[in-house]
Amino acid sequence: MPEKETVERAKEDAREGKSASTQAGEFVREEIHHIRKGKHGARSAEQAIAIGLSKARRAGVRLETPKSTNSTASTRHKAELDSASAKHPHKPARKRSRATEGALKRKGKAAVSKKALSRQARSASKMGGRKQRVSAAKKVVRTRKSRA
């Protein structure tokens, strides 16, 4: 279950008209925070992000299902289930929930180090292609707050 503050921050982003990915970023941020604090671990930065996105979908953030080029069929299916779960919320199965938490607790914290997250961001940007990286860089220049 996401924390109340996280859900509130995401709703505020929605009210301000920010994109779904920005709203989902709050849940990913929370997950990274959990791992760094030692609540549980993660196998990789990608897994930590996936957990956050799953929480976001279940909380009602309208993220689109991942493209077929970058993801497996099971990932797309899970995304669809999470989105459907937002419409009809239910209490998670206690045994499954505890088993998942137990498995994650055995994983390390290195997955969300600055180095690991940086590596993940780079590899994700490479999947998009040169044009996408250039437009992202231009947007950063346009939208960055001045440092002065």
pLDDT tens digit string along 61-88? 999 888 876 788 999 999 999 999 999 8
What is the structure's pLDDT at 105?
A: 95
Please count the structural domains in the chain: 1
Residue 105 domain boundaries: 4-112
pLDDT per position as a tens digit, 40-55? 999 999 999 999 999 9
Judge contact between 78 and 53, C-beta under 8 A: no
Name every residue whose Cβ is closer than 8 Å to that of residue 23 and which is 6 or more positions away in sequence.
10, 13, 14, 56, 61
Q: Is residue 138 part of a domain?
A: no
Q: Is residue 100 included in any domain, yes or no? A: yes
Question: Distance (Å, rounded) from C-alpha 76 to C-alpha 79?
Answer: 5
Residue 132 lies in a domain: no
In a domain, 139, yes or no: no
Is 136 within a domain?
no
Single pTM value for the model = 0.84
Q: Is residue 123 part of a domain?
A: no
Give the residue carrying structure tokens 């206690």: 94
Residue 54 lies in a domain: yes
Contact at 8 Å (CB) between 48 and 31? yes
- Asked, for residue 129, whether it belongs to a domain, the answer is no
